[in-house]
């Protein structure tokens, strides 16, 4: 399949049947929309974010729709230690024995600021959420991914190496490098990325408060590449980035 066409991808109803898929940042925005879509496609979705109340709302939405029962794992990516990621992997191993899909979607900017005025502590916090956390989680879950017959890891990328994006822009550039290195090293797991461009999420509205409904797509409109990469039709595709052109 031409990867550009995945923005219009219409997944089969059973695309992710019997698959276990972990989505970070699942309490809102693209993470929430993807969790609902993956559950509708048959996946058992592990919902991860720091907002427990938000995760519980998404959990209820999935349950009310009659989809496979999801799981909740609240975790603050800003402060989590590697032992906490190991505990996550151990919990998943005990509950499911494997991980078929991992979506690194959580992101945080803390606002747009010139690097000259970036406080070092703030820089470290933003880089931790957007780069260190995906590395630590992937590292902890490698054995679980190996236990799947068709494992896939998808990164939410953002090519925003523009003025004022600071630590977020640097971290996202590093995240794409991490994805490509993993894809080159690992033959049994595929690693791909999705750059949705501007989408109406909290991150977007916080940084562009003048954004109005209809100015940019809603999260539901940008899920095609994620679902394609998570499903069996993307077997053999790795190290690729799909970028939406506004």
Instruction: Characterise 84 by phi-psi region: left (phi > 0), alpha (psi -120 to 50), beta (else).
Output: alpha
Measured distance CA(110)–CA(224) in Å, rounded = 28
CA angle in degrees (0–180, nearest 5) for 96-231-73: 35
Catalytic residue among 9, 59, 85, 168: 168
In whole angstroms, give the CA distance from residue 206 to residue 179.
27
d(CA 190, CA 145): 10
Q: Which residue in 189, 193, 197 sits closest to 240, CA to CA? A: 193
Contact 196, 145 (CB under 8 A): no
CB 36 within 8 A of CB 63: no
> Is 168 among the residues known to form the active site?
yes
Rounded Cα gap, residues 241 and 171, in angstroms = 16
Write out the catalytic residue numbers.
168
């Amino acid at each position: 399949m031409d990867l550009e066409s995945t923005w219009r991808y219409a997944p089969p109803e059973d695309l992710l049947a019997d698959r276990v898929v972990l989505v970070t940042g699942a309490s809102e925005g693209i993470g929430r929309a993807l969790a609902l879509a993956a559950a509708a496609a048959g996946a058992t979705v592990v919902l991860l974010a720091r907002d427990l109340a938000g995760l519980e709302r998404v959990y209820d939405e999935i349950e009310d729709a009659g989809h496979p029962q999801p799981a909740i794992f609240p975790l603050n990516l800003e402060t989590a230690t590697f032992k906490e990621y190991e505990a996550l992997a151990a919990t998943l191993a005990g509950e499911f024995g494997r991980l078929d899909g991992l979506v690194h979607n959580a992101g945080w900017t803390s606002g747009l600021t010139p690097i000259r005025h970036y406080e070092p502590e703030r820089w470290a916090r933003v880089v931790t959420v957007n780069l260190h956390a995906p590395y630590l989680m992937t590292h902890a879950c490698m054995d679980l991914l190996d236990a799947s017959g068709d494992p896939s890891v998808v990164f939410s990328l953002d090519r925003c190496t523009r003025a004022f994006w600071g630590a977020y822009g640097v971290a996202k550039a590093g995240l794409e490098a991490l994805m490509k290195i993993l894809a080159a090293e690992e033959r049994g797991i595929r690693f791909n990325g999705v750059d949705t461009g501007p989408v109406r999420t909290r991150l977007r509205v916080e940084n562009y408060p003048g954004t109005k409904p209809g100015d940019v797509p809603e999260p539901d409109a940008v899920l095609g590449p994620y679902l394609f990469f998570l499903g069996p039709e993307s077997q053999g595709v790795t190290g690729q980035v799909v970028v939406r052109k506004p």
